[in-house]
A = this chain, B = another copy of it.
């Protein structure tokens, strides 16, 4: 099987999950499993009016591509796509999408999970909260749990 090229996009526009699945699967019949992960903006119990996602334009795509290429080396994928939005995002809106396809289901699940763990800890994006109260919001703190989640892939 020849290695696939991950489709990586950094954009302010929203994405369409069904269209991204179709891009990976249309016209081929060797794919038995497609896993998608969509990350959405939560309102944190009504306290949040929006998230502002700052990113490092040059590096963001390059870093996600490095992580995606590692996933392609590690699992027998038939397709891999990652889209990360930047800018102001309201509660309920999409932030990030990962789509992984493979002949077999565990490869698709694991590759999507792996990509998300490393996106969280290595992709140069920073979230600032806009509060519903109108007060100045905080920059979101990195979670130790996210570092632990990324760390677990080294133990395999």
Question: Which chain A residues have a beta carbon within 8 Å of chain B's beta carbons?
Answer: 16-18, 21, 25, 27-43, 45, 91-92, 103, 105-106, 108-109, 112-113, 116, 149
The verdict on A25 contacting B39 (CB below 8 Å), with A105-B116, A149-B106 known, is no
Counted per complex, copies of this chain come to 2
Residue of B with least CB distance to A35: B37
A92 in contact with B25 (CB, 8 Å): yes
B31 in contact with A40 (CB, 8 Å): yes
Distance A34 CA – B29 CA, assembled complex (angstroms): 25
The verdict on A92 contacting B39 (CB below 8 Å), with A18-B16, A105-B116 known, is no
Q: Which of A38, A109, A113 has the most CB of B within 10 A?
A: A38
